[in-house]
Structure 1
């Protein structure tokens, strides 16, 4: 991704715009800003490496801002959603229902009704969901299109979050699939594909490569007894981005080179089936910043606290997710000051009445003044929408594309 962070004497530029001007555009702090050019560049770079015919889907849960999704609709081949509201955002952005996959272990009756009525692919994750989808198809007079989300019979290491491979609420266990497939064949639904999502936020190329290879082997095994061809196979994603010191960027080139090795075998075993790579954080995470303003600067028993008008209610991930065991700092800078002297070690905290409200712990920054802008980088994914916005009833942050 060609990020447009530029240091000039006046401070940080993002997306070609000075942070002060961004604040003027937002009208107030705190705010999130997303760089559409950086997202476009990331997708173009990825497509230059992917094998021909590999489709790219955006997982809206990473960042559901409607304007951002509307931009992505022109750059990706489809969307994956996890709620009826995300489905509506994708449809309103112009996505075709056949290019939308609706996953999630706890879809409500209303969620499923809206999905079946809209014609999107419902990613079935239990026998209950299959029966509800079938009944809704009868009620609405349509044939639902479903994919089966598979809980794989393998596990991978070095993934930030495992989404399958053991006991899990996600998907259908491999051992339970034969019975579910028999039931599906007896019902008036169309099996469009399989969905295998093994994990997320992985920075280790060998792990991603091995997970994809095992996913393809599993799909070929599962599809061997089917009478009708699959329309698609969603192989998940798992691509991570570096957040913390010492983390190494994922070698995406190596991952894509391995795809060129295993994809021919998949095409031979599943002719006419479209392979899908589903990514969220990797496409948008590095193209966003969170900006808040310094409203106080104080020293308590020898420790300096930079107090802002933002906090964990807007950016839970940067704060440490309500007290994770090992808390590490996202990249944080003072946006309107060059990296110069004097400098200070400080704690950057939010405005909430809880000791958990910390945006950076024991970090060295240029000495902060009241009115300065604190910028948290790597904030394009799982920021505003993944945070407790109503905690302590402070105003919600602005979002904007630049």
Structure 2
């Protein structure tokens, strides 16, 4: 079966069973290499931590490691997943409040970068075996309203993450760490994201972190700037723009020697994944509206349900059909609001036509629920356009557990 307008990403996209995600290995690698090259023009020592929460597909994690990434994880489950995908503890950045004591101890002993987020981690750290030095980072709370007001969503755009230097929390954590034998503060973690993802925010948050470092006379190895960057998109900030902003924030304090860690997720995965669906039914509900049902769902491409349209390609088997005034493309669930987009004055869609949604790799695979239709399969496409399945579709047998 041939389709009109199919993109050239995958040689056999006509034959792929739908619904499915398509992972572009070359695009993924281009993002990683591009970000690293941009940072290396400004800093001597850099690390990219692939944000596992953004897209936890094991094949993507393995590809990230092949490109020299660390794994940035925020729970004991993600820590264990990274290990199963080949990451040694020294290749892991361990953030977030959902660490387990067991994995915390393993990470500290194995040389992972561990950034403290909760007070219980202080207790675990104090109980670590003696006889060696443990390097640890602290997550610094960032109130965007105070650090970069132009990027704030509200007059009090604060955060529930990190230890605040606007209260006594940060100072208290420092005091607790200094009282521990064999513990050294090696870095700060300042992850915070904004809707606009402007480089100025990174410059200002880095500047704020540098002022905190000066205030307490900290001698650090690294600054973990976190994530939230745009990727390779036209008319958006570039990796070079972010590198310059981070450098500007540090250079005015003479701290360019610090190792710079970034934790991109959206910047690496969004453009590397597409979602392919097929029309399974068409109904004319009134004189004006034609409903088109697909085997995909808004859950697959827009788990936050925020968008009204998408970067998409309509793959007609026959584009010579007459135009329809209004076609509303919907998903396969029983939710009335599972509606993706509307086509106006476009060729009529029929059963068997396909729709390819591009730039849908960020948070989709990790937030897609097992609601009505289980997880779709994933196909990876190499540099030659050849595809292979890297995750099979889930089945009912995968989620059934009988107690005997």
* TM-score (structure 1 length as normaliser): 0.80
Question: Matched residues in 2 for 1:330 and 1:229: separation?
Answer: 46
Which of 40, 62, 66 lines up with 2:29 in the alignment?
40
Which of 280, 298, 313 lines up with 2:265 in the alignment?
280
Change in Cα spacing, 1:255 to 1:270, as seen in structure 2 (3 Å) is closer
Q: Does 1:194 align with 2:188?
A: yes
Contact 2:3/2:315 (CA < 8 Å) preserved in 1? no
Q: Does 1:381 align with 2:362?
A: yes
Change in Cα spacing, 1:128 to 1:347, as seen in structure 2 (3 Å) is same
Which of 317, 326, 338 lines up with 1:357 in the alignment?
338
Contact 2:250/2:256 (CA < 8 Å) preserved in 1? no
Match of 1:397 in 2: 376
CA shift, 1:11, in A, is 2.9
Instruction: Point out where structure 1 has 5 or more consecutive residues left out of the alignment.
Output: 1-7
Which of 332, 338, 354 lines up with 2:312 in the alignment?
332
Question: Matched residues in 2 for 1:384 and 1:160: separation?
Answer: 28
CA shift, 1:144, in A, is 4.9
CA shift, 1:103, in A, is 1.5
Q: Does 1:219 align with 2:209?
A: yes
Determine helix, strand or coil for the equivalent of 2:140.
strand
Which of 157, 178, 191 lines up with 1:185 in the alignment?
178
Match of 1:4 in 2: none
Number of equivalent positions: 370
Contact 2:311/2:358 (CA < 8 Å) preserved in 1? yes
Which of 80, 88, 98 lines up with 1:88 in the alignment?
80
Map of 1:126-137 to 2, 5 A cutoff?
126-135=118-127, 137=128
RMSD: 3.3
Question: Matched residues in 1 for 2:362 and 2:18: separation?
Answer: 19
Match of 1:5 in 2: none
CA shift, 1:262, in A, is 4.2
Q: Does 1:71 align with 2:63?
A: yes
Which of 3, 7, 15 lines up with 2:9 in the alignment?
15
Question: Matched residues in 2 for 1:185 and 1:340: separation?
Answer: 74
Change in Cα spacing, 1:16 to 1:400, as seen in structure 2 (3 Å) is closer
Question: Matched residues in 2 for 1:265 and 1:279: separation?
Answer: 25
Which of 54, 60, 65 lines up with 2:52 in the alignment?
60
Determine helix, strand or coil for the equivalent of 1:355.
coil
CA shift, 1:363, in A, is 5.8
Instruction: Point out where structure 2 has 5 or more consecutive residues left out of the alignment.
Output: 382-404
* TM-score (structure 2 length as normaliser): 0.79
Which of 329, 335, 356 lines up with 1:348 in the alignment?
329
Match of 1:298 in 2: 283
- 1:30-66 deviation line (CA, Å, top 9, x unaligned): 1111101111222333334332433322211111111
CA shift, 1:14, in A, is 4.5
Determine helix, strand or coil for the equivalent of 2:173.
helix
Match of 1:101 in 2: 93
Change in Cα spacing, 1:161 to 1:263, as seen in structure 2 (3 Å) is same
